[in-house]
Amino acid sequence: MDGWEFAWNNGSSKNFQPVRLPHDWAINRPFDKTMEEGASQGYRNRYGIGWYRKTLTLEEKREGIRCFLDFGGIYENSTVWVNGKEAGGHKYGYSSFRLDVTELVREGENRIEVRVDNTGTPSDRWYSGAGIYRTVRWIETEEIHLDEKEVIIHTGVEGKNGKVTVYTGLPGRTVRAGLRDGEQEWQAQTDDGRMEILVPEAKLWSAEEPNLYELTLSLMDGEREMDRLSFCVGIREISMAPGKGMFVNGEHVLLKGVCLHQDAGCLGTAVRKEIFRQRLLSLKEMGCNAIRAAHHTFCPEFLDLCDELGFYVYEECFDKWHGGLYGRYFETEWQKDVEAMVKRDRNRPCIFIWGVGNEVENQGQKGMLDTLEMLTAYVKGLDASRPVTYAMNPHFKRESGEDVSKIKDIQQFVDEVSDTEIYDNAERMERIAGIAGYVDVISCNYQEQWYPMIHERIPDKLILGTEVYQYFQGHPDQMQNFTDENPSLVPEKLPYVIGGMIWTGIDYLGESMGYPSKGWSGAPIRTNGEKKPGYYILQSYWSKKPMVHFSVMDYSLSDENVKEHWDMPLLADHWHFPQFHKTVIPYVIASNCEEVRLYLNEKRIYVPKPSACANRLISGFLPWQPGTVTVIGLNGGKEECRYQITTPGPAVKLAFDQEQLFLPPENGYEILLTVRAQDEDGNPYFRESASVRIRAEGPAEIMAVDNGNLMGNEPYGEESIHMYHGCASVMVRLTGETGRACITADAEGMQSGRTVLVTGFQE
């Protein structure tokens, strides 16, 4: 729905300004390092009350037609009025909700007003944004209609055939179904609310081959179609075999996953589908096949892409229970919010497991176990086809009797080592066993060092690493350690471990370790999509496509204020040390090939095979000489891939990653573009930090800029920003016209860079 306006604090018309949904009112507010809970919110003052309004024109209000407003999510505590009368609202900012406004609307103009109260504390532990940050839909149906939240779709595999079972939610009504795959269609009909469709030689869904069918349901009145719904269906069968692992369509699968928050850097939380697509494709290229949507329900557009592109998704409804932000909602809202998640997403092939909480207070104690039992039972009552779990914190404590609703910093209460901390591993295992009694899979945050103990104590349950460090793992006698033992390799060795989820896949806003950091920088991908050396390390573990990558250790780089155990060595992707004359430089080579060859200015440096190295990473030293470093990956003695990096000359020009792109002429379509500093031969200049100004001509406009540096203070909502590690990015929005948009980047002393966006034409 277009045509929205936004105003601060009151409904006075003079304050309203046009906005485009989705809209995050906090992302371009000024930094405030003294604000309450500033570290968690990236020092962007998102507190306040905002108003949205829109005029909706109905040409006709037909008898027997129901009218609904469908909100993807409003952050938070929203109230909706239609023509001056309250229609409803929702408290929790991450749940989708629908309001029946049939009795409140009329023919002609209708005034919709939404009040968003973002004044509550405590805030989330990460940047939450504020406002109507997801899509809004207007829906009209007949009085009796199909409801996608009441339709249940189950799939199964029988040999080479697939079976789709549909429960329509309307027993006693005639519903016809058509399941289509290209030119083929299978049909069925029911009058009792249940039908089966058998699909011979079915194309099955998995993360590796995400085949989808389109299912259309038609509610019939004789031969008249009263209502129609469409679903994307992935025919697949997932099973958990104790001691053996997770199986998809009979094939063993390891989850090579990452956790994600929903913000997208310079956009905040107002993220459109095409930006999520860019991010997910980058993760897919890394070899990632699983996402933990942390720690709340994500928008449906994100999950649509996970269905389409192929990701196994761990979806959870909320973070803490009685403490933290959700503590003010739990008693009255938990059923509503759990139902909103499960009913909306239970028909998706990508969802493989439900999570009912993360690192909650009083973990393993009786009150916590009672709540866990209640939540898991409720989820299973809504969807018995998937396992249910809870993500355990590594900290277990003895009973303290504290009222967690009165604790200001709930994560500190959960994490901080204290006199009540349990260090004895036998006692720890008893607490874990108590939790395991109420979940189907044992989900562990940062506990790889205890997996063998957990399995010995609870052999009938599989283990999932719901949060794992990117580079380090702990020691059996303590949670954290700093040795060459990468937790992402653990699932390969232990058949009862189904995989792990890196915390996190992409840098995010908020949860800062202190000013001037505005967010979490310990991920393999920056907020502007730049890939760090850690990306290629994970790619060497996870990707089947042959790859090789060279990085140097560079402790001249600035500290990015990452929490130590979530950090990794200061690796960088360059061969440029102007501060040195003669020295040796430590390096790391990541490759999934059998053999690697390393050359410095065409002189071979002999290196061991990856399989002979700790963490399968080749490390050593190169004498500093300006020139070119080349690494070649070989399988069976044959070159499969190579990577080359050259010491640059002076930075003399700017260049975008693509000279031309063909895009749909969709009004509001967004794309993130990156420009780099280069020498005259096109070699990237990693150390360049010049200020870059971006201009747009034609059917496009500049939305925001981002350089991936969460330590910086430059605002996103401008047209210029300093380069970081030799690059800067710009978020461009199309205005909908067919034609050519020219995006130009300028920096003092360098030749301008230019890319052309062609809209409405085929390549």
For residue range 551-580, what is the model confidence (pLDDT) as tens digits?
999 999 999 999 989 999 999 999 999 999
pLDDT greater than 60 at residue 538: yes
- Residue 760 is predicted with a pLDDT of 81
- Residue 12 is predicted with a pLDDT of 66
Distance CA 24, CA 165 (A): 40
Q: Name beta bridge partners: 68.
A: 100, 139
Distance CA 761, CA 160 (A): 41
pLDDT greater than 90 at residue 10: no
Percent of the chain, pLDDT > 90? Answer: 93
The end-to-end CA distance of the chain, in Å, is: 30
Burial level of 756, CB count in 10 A (0-12/13-18/19+)? middle
How high does pLDDT run on average in the chain? Answer: 96
All residues at 6 or more sequence positions from 255 whose CB lies less than 8 Å from its CB, including other chains: 246, 289, 290, 312, 464, 491, 498, 499, 500, 501
The answer to whether 482 touches 470, Cβ cutoff 8 Å, is no
The answer to whether 75 touches 269, Cβ cutoff 8 Å, is yes
Distance CA 395, CA 388 (A): 21
Q: Which two tokens stand for residue 88?
A: 């409803």
Q: Within 10 Å of residue 582's Cβ, how many Cβ atoms?
A: 7
H or E segment at 239?
strand 238-241
638 or 11: whose pLDDT is higher? 638
Distance CA 526, CA 263 (A): 12
Distance CA 459, CA 61 (A): 61
Distance CA 442, CA 431 (A): 12
Q: pLDDT tens-digit profile of 652-662? A: 999 999 999 99
Burial level of 266, CB count in 10 A (0-12/13-18/19+)? buried
Pairing relationship of beta strands 617-623 and 720-722 according to DSSP bridges:
unpaired
Q: Tell me the three state secondary structure of residue 241.
A: strand
H or E segment at 412?
helix 410-415
- Residue 373 is predicted with a pLDDT of 98
Distance CA 292, CA 503 (A): 9
pLDDT greater than 60 at residue 230: yes
In terms of Cα–Cα distance, which of 405, 318, 301 is closest to 670? 301
Helices (H), 199-318: 273-286, 300-309
Report which DSSP code applies to 362: T
Q: Tell me the three state secondary structure of residue 530.
A: coil
pLDDT grade for 401, boundaries at 50, 70 and 90? confident
* Residue whose pair of structure tokens reads 């008898």 in the numeric block: 63
Q: Degrees (nearest 5) of the Cα angle 50, 52, 55? A: 165
In terms of Cα–Cα distance, which of 72, 123, 60, 78 is closest to 98? 72
- What average pLDDT does the segment 669-691 reach? 98
Q: Go through the domains of the chain in sequence order and give each one's CATH number.
A: 4-142 (2.60.120.260), 152-233 (2.60.40.10), 301-521 (3.20.20.80), 538-646 (2.60.40.10), 653-759 (2.60.40.10)
Distance CA 183, CA 406 (A): 60
Q: pLDDT tens-digit profile of 433-480? A: 999 999 999 999 999 999 999 999 999 999 999 999 999 999 999 889
pLDDT greater than 90 at residue 591: yes
- Where is average pLDDT lowest: 11-15, 296-300, 320-324? 11-15
Report which DSSP code applies to 532: P
- Residue 11 is predicted with a pLDDT of 61
Q: Which two tokens stand for residue 364?
A: 């393993």
In terms of Cα–Cα distance, which of 624, 655, 630 is closest to 645? 630
Q: Tell me the three state secondary structure of residue 35.
A: coil
Q: Reading across the β-sheet that carries 108-118, which strands appear in turn? A: 17-19, 4-8, 48-58, 108-118, 78-82, 85-90
- What average pLDDT does the segment 711-737 reach? 96
DSSP string for 418-482: -TTB---HHHHHHHHHHHHTT-SEEEEES-GGGHHHHHHH-TTSEEEEEEE-SS---BTTBS---
pLDDT greater than 80 at residue 14: no
Q: Name beta bridge partners: 670.
A: 733
In terms of Cα–Cα distance, which of 503, 474, 476 is closest to 486? 474
- Residue 762 is predicted with a pLDDT of 58
pLDDT grade for 761, boundaries at 50, 70 and 90? low
H or E segment at 369?
helix 366-382
The answer to whether 680 touches 283, Cβ cutoff 8 Å, is no
In terms of Cα–Cα distance, which of 264, 390, 292 is closest to 338? 390
Distance CA 276, CA 160 (A): 33
The answer to whether 87 touches 70, Cβ cutoff 8 Å, is no
Return the HEC string of 294-350: CCCCCCHHHHHHHHHHCCEEEEECCCCCCCCHHHHCHHHHHHHHHHHHHHHHCCCCC
The answer to whether 468 touches 442, Cβ cutoff 8 Å, is no
Residue 196 backbone dihedrals phi, psi, to 5 degrees: -125, 140
pLDDT greater than 80 at residue 688: yes
pLDDT greater than 60 at residue 763: no
H or E segment at 591?
strand 584-591
Distance CA 33, CA 19 (A): 27
Percent of the chain, pLDDT > 70? Answer: 99
Q: Tell me the three state secondary structure of residue 180.
A: strand
All residues at 6 or more sequence positions from 495 whose CB lies less than 8 Å from its CB, including other chains: 243, 244, 245
pLDDT greater than 80 at residue 61: yes
Q: Tell me the three state secondary structure of residue 557.
A: coil
Distance CA 472, CA 435 (A): 26
Q: Which two tokens stand for residue 203?
A: 């194309």
The answer to whether 715 touches 746, Cβ cutoff 8 Å, is no
Pairing relationship of beta strands 720-722 and 628-635 according to DSSP bridges:
unpaired
Distance CA 477, CA 495 (A): 23
H or E segment at 536?
helix 533-542
In terms of Cα–Cα distance, which of 82, 76, 117 is closest to 99? 82
Distance CA 549, CA 630 (A): 9
Report which DSSP code applies to 205: B
Distance CA 731, CA 703 (A): 5
- Residue 198 is predicted with a pLDDT of 97
- What average pLDDT does the segment 529-543 reach? 98
DSSP string for 615-639: GGEEEEEEE--SSEEEEEEEETTEE
